[in-house]
Chain A
Amino acid sequence: MLAASHLVRRFGPRTAVDDVTFEVKAGEVFGLLGPNGAGKTTTLRMLGGLIPPTAGEVLVDGVAIDPTTGPRLRARIGFLTETPGLWEQLTVADNIAVYARLFGMPEVKTAVERSLRRFELWDRRGDRAALLSKGMKQKLALARALVHDPDVVLLDEPTANLDPQTSRDVRDLLIDLRGRGRAIVVSTHNLDEIERVADRVALISTRLVAVGEPSVLRRRIFGRRLTVHLADGNGGASVADLMAVAGRAGAQDVRRDTAGMSMVLDDPDAATPAIVRALVQAGASIRAVFDNQPPLEDVYLRLLDPTTADSPSGCGPDR
């Protein structure tokens, strides 16, 4: 539904975005990650048709956004900008109504009511936007971005300034939008949040560093590491013996840790039962076996800087 093809954006001598290519399908949440100044907002602005790329193109259902198609295609895009940008002297309802009209909604009143009720702002419809809290302003900006029920949704830091409950509401909203077949791009620093909802993520730092499903990226960076926690007493077998057993059963990079051992498996789904059987036969008292899932933050840090310690949070592979 939405495609960025070899996007380049230069501002004078500075290159903000360099050769970024990805596609977002209908019914997909796509996370755009990167450090400050990496070009996330610039990429979103190009995707939303706000600024033209220096090279490359953005396509919505195969149609390139250009000065001719821009107004028509922007009507299919809902864009939450970095700052809410509300007209503070106007009422909550008026802020939405103006956008509903600009997007060509036929039933403005209905659209405004639906939108405000969805974000629990209906009771505040008559208040000036200036009177809302930061979180409510963000909700109003979200309501405004989605008032025309767009096919493509671009969200720049959607949970900035939001409390945990409202952040959760936004996640639920993203899941709902995905269920209704929308193509959603979310730029965020909140890796925990994006990991919960994104089908795929792209890491950009001017250039595209990596793109893929979070689990695939994790596996690519850290492999799939199986952790085996042992109970006290292993039928006389030492942990070192058990590590050797695991190695013979096909495990790689077997390491000892405080609770037992961990190892990398090429195909954990197939190999795990055999490893566990071999360890039990060798006398191991196994307390727990689980896939080690380093957080997306570790993947992010490793991708941005391969020299970064691989497990700042202590959840990565043992050393």
Chain B
Amino acid sequence: MSGRRIRTLVAKELKEFRSNPAAVLPVVVLVVMCVALPFFVLIVIPRVTGESLATDRTIRGIVAVAARTQPHLALLPPGTAAEAFLFQQFLLLFLVAPIVGAVSLAAYSVVGEKQGRTLEPLLTTPITTAELLIAKVLASFLPSLVVEAAGLVAYVALVAAFGEPGTAPALLSARSIVMVGLVGPLASLAALQMTIAISSRVNDPRSAQQIAVLLVLPLVVLLVGQVAGAFIVTTPILLLISAALAALWLALIVFSAALFQRETILTRWR
């Protein structure tokens, strides 16, 4: 495995993205929505209607359940605790949105090389299949990671500026950090690896995109379940999910390298 070859190809992909900024637009739009939506629901609407989140009995109940595993919520005033809890849950959007956005980059990655007839010359170099696929994944992952990080900074800054005092510090819990720092990136990597694997076998980037986006479904279930109070995912569970996603990613690297058949790509792609 050559780090230089992987870096070279990643840098090439990033240059191509720079020459075509529209390619990164889906990630940016989705992350902007991740920031704007919770801000609108949790800050703007309560202020316009004059109804505090703490007045909703259902929300109070869910926060009380959550406080059993997150004791710091119990120490906050009810309005702040409700806001902090809900802003935490909306963080899950940051897991879903970058995946959806980056998958569109990745889906086009291999299919685009095939359509542009650039894959055959590339395969004449010493690059191995695993290096090629890892580079493709990283090249889609890095821009989405940067946009996601910028979105997160904006998210916390907006909460600090407009939320109840104490909400922003409550967001920076170990659980949140594991969620956006580990679960999110690993879920992205797994989804991207799956996309790349599929895109090496299909003619149309949309096919790869549609199949890979299925990986988002468990995360959506997690988001809805938490907001509805059906279950609370604790930090240890998030760590377990991270480990599972890391294992899934590694398995997908092996799987995608096996699925990527140079000769099929070269001989059937016309």
Mark A residues whose CB is within 8 Å of B: 11, 42, 45, 48, 50-52, 70-72, 74-75, 77-79, 81-90, 94, 98-99, 101-104, 128, 141, 144-145
- Name A51's contact: one of B8, B19, B126, B267 (CB within 8 Å): B267
Q: Is B125 an interface residue (CB 8 A)?
A: yes
Contact, CB under 8 Å: A50 / B116 = no
Known A-B contacts A74-B125, A103-B126; the reply to A81 vs B8 at CB < 8 A is no
What is the interface of chain B mostly: helix, strand, loop, or mixed?
helix
The answer to whether B126 and A50 touch across the interface, beta carbons within 8 angstroms, is: no
Other CB < 8 Å A-B pairs besides A74-B124, A89-B19, A101-B5, 18 of them? Answer: A48-B124, A50-B266, A51-B262, A75-B125, A78-B124, A81-B120, A85-B119, A85-B120, A85-B121, A88-B116, A89-B20, A94-B15, A99-B121, A102-B122, A102-B125, A103-B125, A104-B4, A141-B121
Pairs A–B under 8 Å by Cβ, sample size 10: A45-B266, A50-B262, A71-B127, A74-B126, A75-B125, A84-B117, A85-B117, A90-B12, A102-B9, A145-B124
- Judge if B210 is at the interface, Cβ distance under 8 Å: no
Which of B1-53 touch A at CB < 8 Å?
4-5, 8-9, 11-12, 15-16, 19-20
A101 touches B117 (CB 8 A): no
Task: Out of A48, A52, A71, A144, name the residue touching B128 (CB < 8 Å).
Answer: A71
B268's closest neighbor in chain A, by CB?
Answer: A11
Question: Which residue on chain B has the smallest CB distance to residue A141?
Answer: B121
Contact size range, B: 20 to 34
Partner of B12, one of A72, A81, A98: A98
A87 x B118 contact (CB < 8 A):
yes
Q: Is B123 part of the contact surface with A, judged by Cβ < 8 Å?
A: yes
Contact for A83 among B4, B117, B267, CB less than 8 A? B117
Shortest beta-carbon distance, B39 to chain A, in Å?
36
The answer to whether A89 and B16 have CB atoms under 8 Å apart is yes
| Chain B positions within 8 Å of A101 at CB level | 4-5, 8
Instruction: Report Cα–Cα, A99/B5, bound state, in Å.
Output: 10
In the complex, the answer to whether B267 meets A102 with C-beta atoms within 8 Å is no
